[in-house]
Amino acid sequence: MAKYIGLQQRVYSIADVAFAAGGEATLYYVDNRPGLVAKIYKAGKNPREREDKLKTMVIHPPASTNEIAWPKDILYNSSGTFAGF
């Protein structure tokens, strides 16, 4: 399992095998976190502007996320580079 670090230093273990992929990112299940998935951007698809926008979304969530998908945390690889959410 790959390990990623969140904004508050929480460690997330991500499955080795993706369950879906698209042009910009790949989706993985998060170990021991039912209902959560990780979106990991492919190389060259994670510009700084995307990281800043996602940080703002995580810090300022809506009152309810029952009917929408909303990022819970930002993910960084072991080198501290933005990887996804």
Q: What is the pTM of this model?
A: 0.88
18-21 contact pairs (CB < 8 A, 24+): none
What are the φ/ψ torsions at residue 56 (nearest 5 degrees)?
-60, -40
Per-residue pLDDT tens digits for 35-71: 899 999 988 766 677 899 999 999 999 988 788 889 9
Could you report the per-residue pLDDT of 7-38, keeping only the tens digit for each?
999 999 999 999 999 989 999 999 988 989 99
Closest CA to 16 of 7, 24, 26: 26
Per-residue pLDDT at 2 exceeds 70: yes
